[in-house]
Structure 1
Amino acid sequence: MSLSLNQRTTQRWSVPEAVAGCLRHGLEAIGLWREEVAEHGLARSAKLVRDAGLRVSSLCRGGFLTAGGLPGEEGRRAFAAALDDNKRAVDEAAELGAACLVMVVGGLPGVKPGEPLPGAFSRDVAGARRQVADALGVLAPYAGERGVKLALEPLHPIYCPDRAVLSTLGQALDLALAHPRAQVGVVVDTFHVWWDPALLEQIARAGDRIASYQVCDYLHPLPADVLLGRGMMGDGVIGFPPITRAVAEAGYTGDVEVEIFNADIWAADPDEVVATMKDRYATVVTATP
């Protein structure tokens, strides 16, 4: 496994700046985000990364498939719009040569990420999960035809209302196993799954379904905006070596992305952030007893 910079960690860097930063720091891979890729231009971004000799470890993100759980015509329109957007994301991942398209599947229908509860929304979490399964039935073959693997990312339960009704690696794996392994895999993101007592067992069960391994720490206490509760490895509560060993023993040989959402890290010098990231990868994430 080798180290990859997820673009969100150095949020201030554009695609060209992030590519140049990877080269300066000797990294071989980068995780890209659709918004920044669109800003620079899809074709230009793909050429830039290829010319730099970098791998695209992932494209973030597809998903938000659960809006179709709303009743009536509103739900049908929302589901169709979600499918269309995700097909575009698959096409973008294919052009970039991304190892996978990360799928943040969506929360309760009608609930918007980070916003107060609306007047009308669905509390049917089981129905929302069925909506995700229905969408995968359409999207997985589409992705497979284009050589793209969908990577289902379970999120910490605090994000279940508004971002992901998949909260455990086991839940994500149950959905993935309904499809060919070339079409659907799972993401192991330490921030989201470190707490799960079944984690090591589920990593072993996942095996070659692991499409991405993402690392950052879980800060305590969390900030008021829990989305920004990710820290540099070693600054929080996660014990990384057992998880990293389990991922390697499961057969994963891909890149290890550092993906951090943190206001202080975003405000810091991005080159210093990447230098610290490299040091912590060696001394915290892959450390041996």
Structure 2
Amino acid sequence: MIEGFPFRFGVNEFTTQPWSFEEDVAHYAALGVEAIEICEAKLDPERAVEQMEAARASGLAVSAVQPRIRTFFGSKMAPQPEAVEQRVAAFAESLKRLAPHAEGASFVMNTGAPSNGNMQRCLDETVHHLRRLAPLATDLGVKIAIEPLNPTSINVETAIWTVDQALDLLDAVGHDSCGLCLDYWNIWQQPDCDGAIRRAGHRIFVVQASDWRTPLSAMDRLVPGSGAIPLGSLLHATWEAGYRGVCTLEIFSSDVPDSLYAQDLENVIRHSRQGLERAWKDHASKVQRAA
């Protein structure tokens, strides 16, 4: 049994939406955060290379990247461009532009919303385009991680909502550079979630954590340890699956009366790290007592 929290701690820039990219880097480094998940939307197109290098110079590892366009089909979060080929081209351009400054990182994506509810077409075309992009990612020294989203996002942002659906899609792609982005907020309610995580095994490329209450908006997540997600169990299942990477805090908190974005964001990060560590420790103690 691993005693201390075994994963490096990272923060996704969506978590600190009110801060600029430069503020993210400065605050994360000062707080002892070990990795940053970069959101391309926060980069200045004229200074993106300089900003990426500044993040690495601060001591932060670049664990993952959220491209500006990260769905092949339409998305409420990023509705333009509309054409699938244009969206795929935009994703490829993000790979080419940012990968040289994020070696080994995973570029996170999902399917987008099926046109006219045609999920089969959405899945088939996603597989087709990932087969085209996977060799490019390999050549650039990065990976692609597909993220199943919560059922609240079906036909808005995604056509897949379980770990097993994502694994089926990855099987169809059949390329080692394509894997899974495991966001606990999105997948914790699926049946036998722990078992699905263990089945994912080496295909887990990215892990994201926050906590759940019945959402008050489309952007409503909580500090880990303050909601309903059995984080300790999921974290241990992730370790048992063989994942040894970064556990990244990803919080959205818009259009809610108690927005975390209006609070002290340094404390949000501190309390989130403590919540994850406590969840790991409490579950470990529970397993030991049961043994």
TM-score band w.r.t. shorter chain: 0.7 to 0.9
TM-aligned CA distance change 1:36 to 1:195, over 3 Å = same
Matched with 2:54 is 48
TM-aligned CA deviation for residue 198 of structure 1: 3.2
* Contact 1:208–1:250 (Cα < 8 Å) also in 2: yes
Whichever residue aligns with residue 9 of structure 1, its letter is T
**Residue 138 (structure 2) pairs with residue 131 (structure 1):** no
2:20 corresponds in structure 1 to 14
CA distance in 1, matches of 2:54, 2:230: 36
- Per-residue CA shift, 1:170-194, capped at 9, x if unaligned? 111122233222x101011111100
- Aligned positions of 1:14-93 closer than 5 A: 14-38=20-44, 41-61=47-67, 62-67=69-74, 78-93=83-98
What 5-or-longer segments of structure 1 have no aligned partner?
68-76, 110-121
Deviates further, 136-145 or 209-218: 136-145
Normalised to the residue count of structure 2, the TM-score between the two structures is 0.86
Deviations along 1:193-244, one digit per CA (max 9) or x if unpaired, are 0011132222122111100010011112x20x2x212111122211111110
- Equivalent position SS for 2:145: strand
The answer (yes or no) to whether the contact 2:198–2:238 under 8 Å persists in 1 is yes
Name the TM-score, length of structure 1 as normaliser: 0.86
Whether contact under 8 Å (1:218, 1:238) holds in the other structure is: yes
Aligned residue for 1:191? 185
1:50 is displaced (CA, Å) by 1.9
**Are the equivalent residues in 1 in contact too, given 2:29–2:59 (CA < 8 A)?**
no
| CA drift at 1:162 | 1.1
Aligned partner of 1:115 in structure 2 is: none
**Within 2, Cα distance between the matches of 1:157 and 1:40?**
37
Aligned to 1:112: none
DSSP 3-state at the match of 1:141: helix
Q: Secondary structure at the match of 1:211?
A: strand
Give the Å deviation of 1:167. 0.8
Instruction: Check if 1:268 corresponds to 2:268.
Output: no
Residue-by-residue CA offset, 1:1-39 (whole Å, 9 max, x unaligned): 111011111111112111111111111111110111235
1:39 and 1:94 map into 2 onto residues whose CA distance is: 15
Equivalent AA in structure 2 for residue 211 of structure 1: F
Q: Retained in 1: the 8 A contact 2:52–2:101?
A: yes
Q: Are the counterparts in 2 of residues 240 and 286 from structure 1 also a CA contact under 8 Å?
A: no
Greater CA drift, 88-97 or 210-219: 88-97
CA drift at 1:168? 0.7
- State the alpha-carbon separation in 1 of the partners of residues 250 and 189 from structure 2: 18
**Quick one: percent identity of the two aligned structures?**
27
Per the TM alignment, residue 91 of structure 1 is displaced from its structure 2 partner at its CA by 1.8
Asked if residue 162 in structure 1 is aligned to residue 168 in structure 2, the reply is no
For 1:173 and 1:259, the matched residues in 2 are separated by 22
Aligned pair in 2 of structure 1 residues 230, 92: CA closer, same or farther (>3 Å)?
farther
Q: Distance in 2 between matches of 1:5 and 1:16?
A: 14
- What are the equivalent positions in structure 2 for 1:167-182 lying under 5 Å apart? 167-177=161-171, 178-181=173-176
Q: Conserved in 2, the CA contact under 8 Å of 1:15 and 1:40?
A: no
**Contact residue 66 and residue 108 of structure 1 kept, 8 A:** yes
Corresponding residue for 1:282? 277
Counterpart CA distance in 2 for 1:286 and 1:154 is: 27
Tell me if 1:230 matches 2:237: no
The residue number in structure 2 matching 1:74 is: none
2:159, 2:180 → 1: CA distance? 14
In the TM superposition, 1:234-249 aligns within 5 A as: 234-249=225-240
